[in-house]
Amino acid sequence: MTKNSNKFSKFITVILVVVCLGLCLSFAELFSSLITVGGFNAIKSNEIKQPSFTLYAISLYKTDTKAKAQDLAEIVQRKSGAGYIWQSDEGFYVLASCYENLADAQKVKDNLQSSQTTSEIVNLCFQEISVKAEVNEQEKNALLNSVTSYKNMYKKLYDLSVSIDTNLYTEIEAKVLLSDIISEFTKITTNFETLFNPKLTSSLLELKLSLKNISNILESLSNFSSNEIPYTSQVKNCYFKILEEYYNLSKTV
């Protein structure tokens, strides 16, 4: 009886050792996965943001009706301004250009005044965009690149317009650079769609549709050709379209 008891005890001990060994190996594998690259891709709750910002636009005209603003917009475009119509509670502004720094906008306003051209500075305020999602590190980066692409595209197109205005680049050279800008943006949108198309929430769907609109805007600029409207005018008009796309998106996500 004692021998049987000892055998049973040994058997139980062996079983417990095997079970403990199996658990140790499982925990070791789990811990190992957490400290590898794959481990850092673990799904986490994240809030991806594009902080609010303000830009300073030069307005050459302000009217009460859109029809009148459209007539004036063509005049502005022929003079290398954006001729973009921005609607606000005060009316319709016909915008010529836009700046990150108030000092730059003031300098342009002063230069226009010295040439007997009346203008005013309009503050364009853009709300923060915040998207909450359960994402891994790769998805987080893709989402961040997407929500920040609006302001980044504005900056790139602003720099491009300045380069044309200062004769640093010809229209042909500017279009080559635009092709690079479009290619970069295409990578952002393709990456976004690859990662998020299978699991679109309402906010992510709104973002996807908005990014598609920007792609169309950039494509139209790429195909633009006119002997009457300077190319720099269309570049400026394009960055205003992207800014308004952001403005509208910020109200829906």
Q: How large a percentage of the chain has pLDDT more than 90?
A: 78
pLDDT band at 43 (very low <50, low <70, confident <90, very high): low
| Nearest CA-CA partner of 183 in 209, 156, 159, 210 | 156
Domain extents for the chain? Answer: 2-35, 44-52+127-249, 54-125
Q: What is the mean pLDDT of residues 33-62?
A: 75
Please state which CATH number belongs to domain 54-125. 3.30.70.1070
**What does pLDDT average to over the chain?**
87
pLDDT band at 17 (very low <50, low <70, confident <90, very high): very low
Q: What is the mean pLDDT of residues 224-251?
A: 96
Give residue 96's pLDDT.
98
Judge whether 157 and 239 are in contact, CB under 8 Å.
yes
Q: What is the chain's Cα-based Rg?
A: 28
pLDDT digits (tens, 9 = 90+) for 134-189: 999 999 999 999 999 999 999 999 999 999 999 999 999 999 999 999 999 999 99
Q: For residue 98, how many other CB atoms are within 10 A of its CB?
A: 24
For residue 2, give the amino acid letter.
T
Burial 43-70 (b: 16+ CB within 10 A, else e): eeebebebeeeebbbbbbbbbeeeeebe
Judge whether 100 and 55 are in contact, CB under 8 Å.
yes
44-52+127-249 against 54-125: fold identical: no
Angle at Cα 33 formed by Cα 32 and Cα 34, nearest 5°?
A: 90
Bigger pLDDT: 7 or 56? 56
Supply the DSSP symbol for 45.
E
Q: What is the mean pLDDT of residues 25-50?
A: 55
Give residue 226's pLDDT.
87
Q: What is the mean pLDDT of residues 13-28?
A: 44
Give residue 9's pLDDT.
53
Distance CA 135, CA 166 (A): 44
Please state which CATH number belongs to domain 44-52+127-249. 1.20.120
Give residue 46's pLDDT.
86
Give residue 238's pLDDT.
98
209: CB partners within 8 A, 6+ apart: none
Structure tokens at 253: 């996500």
Distance CA 84, CA 199 (A): 36
| 234: pLDDT strictly greater than 70 | yes
Q: What is the mean pLDDT of residues 17-40?
A: 41
Distance CA 86, CA 66 (A): 9
Give residue 10's pLDDT.
53
